[in-house]
């Protein structure tokens, strides 16, 4: 059995088209102009245990939407998916005990500060003691295999 199995996955969103000008924007409150945006179109792939997978593409290509479907955050418009034997949007709670997801939408590291200094700064902002900060840094650095990058 594949760790992840995706067949003909689709996700569309219905959004309001932004009207130009004050009068049109006001009228759109009562009669909005809707458009369908296709975020994910016909994605199919299999991933076996032990394989690594990365999604690369431009903004708006559907990378985050696909991950959100595979973690059960979003329901697909069409298609099938299985993650560790679970249907993510049906078995989200059970799946959550077996997976982890990290979204890096905004850079949290400050360019002019070493990574460790940035982590300690954010730890202090969130009122964590040094021991807790060190434990979390160690845990995450080991999990992501980035210990060698922490002093750069």
Here the contacts of 117-120 (C-beta below 8 Å, separation 24 or greater) are none
CA distance 88 to 48: 17
Q: What is the mean pLDDT of residues 122-131?
A: 90
The pLDDT mean for the chain works out to 87
Q: What is the mean pLDDT of residues 44-73?
A: 91
CATH architecture of structural domain 4-20+35-96: 3-Layer(aba) Sandwich (3.40)
Q: What is the mean pLDDT of residues 69-93?
A: 95
Cβ-contact 14, 36 below 8 angstroms:
yes
The structure's pTM equals 0.66
- Which residue, among 55, 11, 57, has the nearest Cα to 37 in the 3D structure? 11
Q: What is the mean pLDDT of residues 28-35?
A: 80
């Amino acid at each position: 059995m594949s760790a992840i199995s995706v067949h003909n996955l689709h996700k569309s969103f219905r959004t309001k088209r932004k009207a130009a000008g004050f009068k049109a924007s006001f009228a759109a409150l009562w009669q909005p102009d809707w458009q369908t945006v296709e975020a994910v179109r016909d994605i199919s792939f299999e991933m076996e245990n032990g394989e690594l997978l990365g999604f690369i593409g431009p903004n708006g290509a559907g990378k985050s939407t696909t991950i959100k479907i595979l973690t059960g955050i979003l329901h697909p418009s069409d298609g099938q998916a299985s993650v560790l034997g679970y249907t993510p949007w049906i078995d989200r709670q059970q799946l959550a005990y077996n997976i982890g997801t990290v979204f890096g939408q905004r850079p949290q590291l400050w360019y002019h500060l070493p990574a460790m200094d940035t982590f300690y700064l954010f730890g202090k902002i969130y009122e964590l003691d040094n021991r807790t900060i060190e434990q979390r840094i160690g845990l995450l650095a080991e999990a992501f295999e980035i210990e060698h990058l922490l002093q750069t």
